[in-house]
């Protein structure tokens, strides 16, 4: 990539736009029993035979807990302006309640201080799926008390780091960890219970509300939001059954978590499909669950093409497929297919054009991110939006020259960055773009097979190697910094 190419990309964004990278604690830290850290639901889940591909676990992962200084130097070298990471609840409160574990908190204090010294915004998420096992033993996210415990945890972290951290995310992708953890049993804690899932949906909603208020009580000036998995939903055909299924998919996937926080009510298609008492709402919840989020974080990886039935198999990712195929919850079903990931373009049964596929079988469709950003703006007005995860998994390793040539990943990010620029021109108030992920890491139930990182990790030696995509992204970040500096000088 030439300097002029990087300048061209940066020129489409305002000087204050933040270019960042993302990680999560459980996926990179390792050191699961270090310095008083408590046990999480993922250690328990990983011990189940067959729960994680190849029987792998996150006991070492990227060893970030011990190598954070090296990692800070790498992040600084990339030239990013924002680092999104998560704080492991079991490091702060080993049993999910009680006093702070000072050693665990000190790790994040060092990390935040190092980022600030490097001129990088620390952008933490308070919950990225690693619930303390002690709370799961008491009912987990299906138990109302967990929301109160989360609020207490939020206050403790805000008291410790709120003087140095200005922007906070409460949760990462609540729709994913509730669905796959409590309904489908494919993620920790591995339950398969429709009643537990529905209770968890509402408990997490109230945890958002209680956590938001706890954060603001400690730091009224803090910017507090949350991060949601979102994808535009399209009907496979114009058939009424497909359109009805699409409306339901949109309600469940895109609005079940964010909707009640922004509007004070769950989406009507969802309420029409369940008895309200299944959510175990308490008097006053409707009034309390609406909170004025300061921003919305979004993770978009694909679009959803939805079918209400028939012999065709249009695309639909695994988690939503399982929800929609459950007659008890939707009264309909949807199918999905995973075409050859090497195919350049294919046509499905309806003549719908499709994109290339990643190693996860996910369709590459940059327009999806554009459409999600404008959808948020259309629904909720000019609320600030943070693109918290955008990324792809491909199978690659260093070549004979020691370099990881990942042109497909570089093209992926270039196309998605262009989609963000187009959405901003159309009125979306986007503040940042974060690459998922900084590192190849522990990818939950898929173990270490998928490689999402722009930095290759040798899991035996822990050597970090910048892929071509990282070198490209570094040029973009550098050009953005130069542009911001030039604009600043011009305005003086």
Per DSSP bridges, beta strands 167-172 and 223-229 are parallel
Terminal-to-terminal C-alpha distance of the chain: 32
How do 385-390 and 430-436 pair as beta strands?
Answer: parallel
Q: What angle do CA 145, 172, 474 make, to 5 degrees?
A: 155
C-alpha to C-alpha distance for 346 and 352, rounded to whole angstroms: 8
Rounded Cα–Cα distance for residues 476 and 482 (Å): 10
Beta strand spans in 364-454 (E): 385-390, 430-436
> Which own/partner contact pairs does 135-139 have at CB distance under 8 Å and 24+ positions apart?
135/95, 135/96, 135/97, 136/41, 136/44, 136/189
Q: For the chain, how many residues are written?
A: 492
The CA distance from 206 to 255, in Å, is 15
Q: What Å distances lie between residue 228 and 125, 128, 159, 172, 370, CA to CA?
A: 12, 11, 25, 6, 15
Tokens of 168: 């906070």
- Judge whether 354 counts as a catalytic residue: no
Q: Is the dihedral of CA 6, 8, 11, 13 positive or negative?
A: negative
Of the residues 56, 386, 389, 443, which is catalytic? 389
Secondary-structure percent of the chain, ordered helix, strand, coil, rounded to 5: 45, 15, 40
- How many CB atoms lie under 10 A from the CB of residue 247? 17
Residues 6+ apart with CB under 8 A from 100: 92, 93, 156, 160
- Burial of residue 350 (CB within 10 Å: 0-12, 13-18, 19+) is middle
- For 489, the 3-state DSSP assignment is helix
Question: Taking the CA atoms of the chain, what radius of gyration do you get in angstroms?
Answer: 22
SS3 439: strand
CA 435 – CA 452 distance, rounded (Å): 9
**Cα 7-470-63 angle, rounded to 5 deg:** 145
391 neighbors 452 (Cβ within 8 angstroms): yes
Asked if 462 and 446 count as a contact pair (C-beta separation under 8 A), the reply is: no
Q: Is 389 considered catalytic here?
A: yes
Residue 281, SS3? Answer: coil
Closest CA to 369 of 395, 340, 391: 391
Residue among 43, 56, 136, 173 flagged as catalytic: 173
**Which residues form the catalytic set?**
173, 389
């Amino acid at each position: 990539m030439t300097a002029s190419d990087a300048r061209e990309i940066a020129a489409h964004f305002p000087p204050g736009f933040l270019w960042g990278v993302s990680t999560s604690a459980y996926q990179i830290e390792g050191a699961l029993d270090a310095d008083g850290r408590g046990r999480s639901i993922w250690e328990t889940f990983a011990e189940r035979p067959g729960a994680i591909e190849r029987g792998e676990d996150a006991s070492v992962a990227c060893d970030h807990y011990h190598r954070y200084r090296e990692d800070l130097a790498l992040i600084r070298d990339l030239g990013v302006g924002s680092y999104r990471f998560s704080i492991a609840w079991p490091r702060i409160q080993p049993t999910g309640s009680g006093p702070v574990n000072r050693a665990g908190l000190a790790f994040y204090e060092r990390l935040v201080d190092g980022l600030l010294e490097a001129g990088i915004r620390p952008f933490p998420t308070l919950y990225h799926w690693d619930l303390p096992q002690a709370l799961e033993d008491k009912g987990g996210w299906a138990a109302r008390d967990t929301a109160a415990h989360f609020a207490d945890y939020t206050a403790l972290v805000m008291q410790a780091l709120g003087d140095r951290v200005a922007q906070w995310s409460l949760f990462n992708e609540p729709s994913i960890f509730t669905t796959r953890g409590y309904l489908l049993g494919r993620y920790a804690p591995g339950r398969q219970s429709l009643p537990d899932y529905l209770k968890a949906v509402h408990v997490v909603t109230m945890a958002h509300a209680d956590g938001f208020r706890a954060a603001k009580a400690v730091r009224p000036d803090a910017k507090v939001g949350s991060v949601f998995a979102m994808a535009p939903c399209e009907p496979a055909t114009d058939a009424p059954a497909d359109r009805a299924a699409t409306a339901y998919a949109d309600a469940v996937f895109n609005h079940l978590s964010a909707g009640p926080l922004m509007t004070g009510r769950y989406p009507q298609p969802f309420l029409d499909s369940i008895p309200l008492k299944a959510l175990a709402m308490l008097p006053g919840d409707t009034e309390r669950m609406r909170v004025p989020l300061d921003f919305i974080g979004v993770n978009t990886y694909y679009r959803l093409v939805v079918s209400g039935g028939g012999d065709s198999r249009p695309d639909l990712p695994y988690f939503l497929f399982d929800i929609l195929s459950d007659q008890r919850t939707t009264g309909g079903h949807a199918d999905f297919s995973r075409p050859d990931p090497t195919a350049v373009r294919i046509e499905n049964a309806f003549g719908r054009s499709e994109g290339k596929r990643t190693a996860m079988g996910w369709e590459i469709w940059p327009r999806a991110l554009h459409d999600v950003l404008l959808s948020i703006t259309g629904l909720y007005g000019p609320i600030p939006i943070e693109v918290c995860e955008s990324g792809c998994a491909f199978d690659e390793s260093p070549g004979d020259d020691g370099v990881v040539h990942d042109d497909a990943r570089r093209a992926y990010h270039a196309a998605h960055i262009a989609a963000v620029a187009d959405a901003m021109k159309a009125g979306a108030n986007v503040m940042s773009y974060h690459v998922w992920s900084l590192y190849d890491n522990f990818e939950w139930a898929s173990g270490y097979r998928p490689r999402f990182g722009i930095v290759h990790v040798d899991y035996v030696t822990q050597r970090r190697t910048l892929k071509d995509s990282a070198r490209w992204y570094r040029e973009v970040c550098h050009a953005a910094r130069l542009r911001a500096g030039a604009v600043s000088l011009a305005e003086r």
